[in-house]
């Protein structure tokens, strides 16, 4: 019984995706006539047309750029703050930690009007930098939270021994402590990369030119242009879903841990 229900549920989860991939290889007329039949997988006309006609590669490049820069900045800045909070005793450590902690609960979407006015004042409307700045600000709290939690568990003897040997503080951080931080950095990286990669709301507000659109936003433009060409639509959805799905299948354990991080202790 449990087996049957689990199989039914997994079918419900996967079958829509299977139909999407099948349809991506079919001409529109065939999708209408036989939506469930497996396609001729050698027919890649839809994909060829997308690469030739649509701006998909451009959108993909923008998504990689924005997500990559954002995640690197989030991890660097987040680890800096977490390292100071976790490894040094100073008066402001707790208040600083609380500022980041408060940021965990605030949906920044609700501050979209002041963010718009602010980005307009900085001349950053229709700039990818506006997205990066917002994503970094959104990602810092969870990263500081994850990294502080981990860094606090590292034993102090490691640093003390290095200090006696005369190593400088930056050197201790870089050569001794950071190499131990790879697992939480992977978790924090995935925790931030997935929502940034998938985000649609902030590009909708800040980006106007087609050349600067990210993949989710570009997909809406594409769907508008090919509204009745279902073969193209399903192929576009398939291409948009492909990169993150491939990474997820390889790293599913880390993805699940990363995305439920902070919720599951």
Partner 1 sequence: MGSASRHRVWVTFLVTPPLAVMAAFVVYPILSAFSYAFFSWHGLSREAFVGLGNFVDLFTKPHYAQPIMRAFGHNLIVLAALLVVQNGGGFLLAWFLYREPFGFRFHRVAVFLPVILSSVIVAFLWKLLLHPNFGAVNGALNAAGLGNLALPWLGDSRTALAALIFANAWHWIGFPTLVFLAGMQRIPREVLESAELDGASQIQVLRRIVWPLAAPSATVTFTLLFIGAFNWFELPYLMTGLEGSPFGSTDVLGLVFYRLAFGNQSASVQDFGHGSALATLLFLFMAAVATAATIRLRRREIAL
Q: Taking CB under 8 A as the criterion, which residues in 194-253 touch partner 1?
A: 194, 197-201, 205, 215-217, 219-220, 223, 230, 233-234, 237, 240-241, 244-245, 248-249, 252
24 interacts with partner 1 by CB under 8 A:
no
Residue located via tokens 């492909």: 242
Binding of residue 117 to partner 1 (CB under 8 A): yes
* Spatial separation of the C-alpha atoms in residues 195 and 184, rounded to whole Å: 18
Least separation in angstroms between CB 124 and partner 1: 11
Q: State the DSSP code for 181.
A: G
The reply on whether position 136 binds partner 1 by CB under 8 A is yes
The DSSP H or E segment spanning 231 is: helix 230-250
Nearer to partner 1, 83 or 150 (CB): 83
166 binds partner 1 (CB under 8 A): no
Is 182 a binding residue for partner 1 by CB under 8 A? The answer is no
Q: Residues of 211-225 as b/e, b for ≥16 C-beta within 10 angstroms?
A: ebbbbbbbbeebeee
Q: Within 10 Å of residue 56's Cβ, how many Cβ atoms?
A: 19
Q: How far is the CB of 14 from partner 1 (least distance, A)?
A: 6
The least distance separating partner 1 from the CB of residue 226, rounded to whole angstroms, comes to 11
- Torsion angle of the four alpha carbons 67, 73, 74, 75, in this order, in degrees rounded to the nearest 10: 110
């Amino acid at each position: 019984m449990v087996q049957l229900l689990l199989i039914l549920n997994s079918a419900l989860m996967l079958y829509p995706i299977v139909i999407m991939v099948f349809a991506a290889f079919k001409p529109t007329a065939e999708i209408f006539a036989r939506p469930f039949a497996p396609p001729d997988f050698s027919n890649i006309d839809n994909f060829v047309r997308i690469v030739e006609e649509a701006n998909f590669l451009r959108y993909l490049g923008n998504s990689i750029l924005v997500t990559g820069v954002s995640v690197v900045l989030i991890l660097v800045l987040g680890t800096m703050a977490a390292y100071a909070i976790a490894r040094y005793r100073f008066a402001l450590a707790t208040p600083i930690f609380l500022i980041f902690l408060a940021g965990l609960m605030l949906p920044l979407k609700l501050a979209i009007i002041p963010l718009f006015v602010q980005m307009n004042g900085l001349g950053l409307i229709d700039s990818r930098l506006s997205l990066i700045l917002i994503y970094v600000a959104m990602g810092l709290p969870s990263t500081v939270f994850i990294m502080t939690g981990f860094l606090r568990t590292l034993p102090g003897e490691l640093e003390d021994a290095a200090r006696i040997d005369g190593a400088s503080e930056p050197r201790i951080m870089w050569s001794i402590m950071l190499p131990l931080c790879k697992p939480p950095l992977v978790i924090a990286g995935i925790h931030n990369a997935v929502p940034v990669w998938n985000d649609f709301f902030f590009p909708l507000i800040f980006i106007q030119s087609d050349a600067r659109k990210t993949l989710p936003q570009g997909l809406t433009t594409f769907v508008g242009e090919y509204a009745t060409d279902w073969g193209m639509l399903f192929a576009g959805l398939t291409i948009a879903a492909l990169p993150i799905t491939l990474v997820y299948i390889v790293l599913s354990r880390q993805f699940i841990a990363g995305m439920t991080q902070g919720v599951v202790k």
